[in-house]
Amino acid sequence: MINKEHAIIRTSDLFDAKHLLRFYASENMYGALLDGKREPILPNQSELEELLQNKDATQSFYAVEDKEGNLHGFIVLKGINQEALFGEIILLFDNQTYLTNSPLIHDALEFIENKAFRQLHLKKLVTTCIDEEEPLKNFLQQHLYILAGIMREVLFARGKWHNLETWVKLSSTTN
Amino acid sequence: MSIVTKTFIRRADREDLDLLVRWMEDEDFQYFLYGDPARSPRLIRDQIVGYLSKTAGSPIPGSVYFIVDSPNGPIGMISLQNISWRNRSCNLDVYISPQHRGHLSTGINVYRALEYAFDELNMHRVSAIIYAFNQPSWRLLEFLGAKREVTLKDHILRNGIWHDVFVYGLLKQEFNVWREKYAEQSKEVTLQKMIESMKCYLEKNL
């Protein structure tokens, strides 16, 4: 368990499944929750419990809590390519957390970037989001992530096409 | 002026297995497509067998493998992978054996595969991930109307050198605009012509 200034960060466990399910069932769409074919999925709680017990997931899936122990979201570091020294991060917080500029997400990002850039010596982090995820995009921009491009009309959901954005941060841009 | 080719594309068959394994073990294949020279040939073989059996006869396949064939034998492979029936999208991969690269027939066969993707599978979008050093491939896709959507700087390491990776996207409406524009030049590249080439090949070989 990592005790940051505002957040407590710990590896996820099966008891976080119902919190994770909230994001899947949310009215907002999250690019982070699309599968490999960029399709939205709707797992049930027991499937998420299984996922969170998976060895790989337990090593890369972190729950972010406030000091009172309330779970606010998740941060994930996955798809690490040791040869090309990059990894993918997933930030899973509701829009309100970004809009209120909660210090929890800043702590969470600092933690995951430190792990990626300093401990694992990766040189790049990549993340994707749907073009409608404005609060997340603003947050990424604020933290020196750069837009690498937009894949057009990748996802069909809620009766229309959505673009998928790829954002990148280089280790050289961190302090 | 019209363009004509004796090559044709057909569904990959189990009989193509040895050839596919040979191609996948080719250094160039790993350099341009999936770069892991340490992969076990047995695993490669199992993977291909899996692909071929999964796609056979399925009305909603997860991927489709084509062999680019000619009267002198197969010259390459084109695959439509990661097919999403919900998003009507897929990824395009192309491999042409070294001695047949740079020929016009590659373009014609990729065009054919795209036509199959858009007109038969009713895809909305075809994506391709191409390394920056593979200029002939991304230039061909740009010629066919695809747009470079994402550039990942220094994203792949080959022989100790960093290279950019491009993600290309081609939408159905863009492909149709291209088709309209080149209708005159491509009027001889018809399905009928392909069937004739294939018939010729079968008569000779069976």
Decide if A41 touches B, using CB distance below 8 A. no
Question: Could you tell me the fold of the domain covering A2-173?
Answer: Aminopeptidase (3.40.630)
Contacts of B127 in chain A (CB under 8 A): 151, 154
- Interface confidence (ipTM) of the complex: 0.90
Query: How confident is the prediction along chain A (175 residues), in pLDDT tens digits per residue?
Result: 889 999 999 999 999 999 999 999 998 999 999 998 999 998 999 999 998 988 777 678 999 999 999 999 999 999 898 888 999 999 999 999 999 999 999 999 999 999 999 999 999 999 999 999 999 999 999 999 999 999 999 999 999 999 999 999 999 887 6
The Cα–Cα gap between B14 and B164 comes to: 35
Residue in chain B lying closest to A87 (CA): B155
- Window 48-77 of B, Cβ < 8 Å to A: none
Residue in chain A lying closest to B150 (CA): A149
Query: Domain extents for chain A?
Result: 2-173
Decide if A171 touches B, using CB distance below 8 A. no
Decide if A154 touches B, using CB distance below 8 A. yes
Measure in Å the smallest separation between the Cα of A102 and chain B Cα atoms: 30
Alpha-carbon distances of A86 from A103, A120, B175, B198, rounded to whole Å: 26, 10, 33, 45
Q: Do A126 and B156 touch (CB under 8 A)?
A: no
pTM comes to 0.87
Contacts of B150 in chain A (CB under 8 A): 148-151, 166
- In order, the DSSP letters of A38-102 are S-B----HHHHHHHHHSHHHHHHEEEEE-TT--EEEEEEEEEEETTTTEEEEEEEE-HHHHHTT-
Mean pLDDT of chain B: 82
H or E segment at B93?
strand B89-96
Q: Among residues A106, A88, A101, A96, which one has the least CA distance to residue A22? A: A96
A-to-B residue pairs, Cβ atoms closer than 8 angstroms? 63
User: Quick check: B13 and B197 in contact, CB under 8 A?
Assistant: no
Decide if B28 touches A, using CB distance below 8 A. no
Residue-wise pLDDT tens digits, B29-57: 666 665 555 556 677 677 777 766 665 56
Q: Is the dihedral of CA B31, B37, B41, B47 positive or negative?
A: negative
Q: Do A38 and B83 touch (CB under 8 A)?
A: no
Q: Do B84 and A86 touch (CB under 8 A)?
A: no
Residue type at A112? I
Interface test with A, best of B34, B82, B89 (most A CBs within 10 A): B89
Q: What is the pLDDT of residue B26?
A: 72
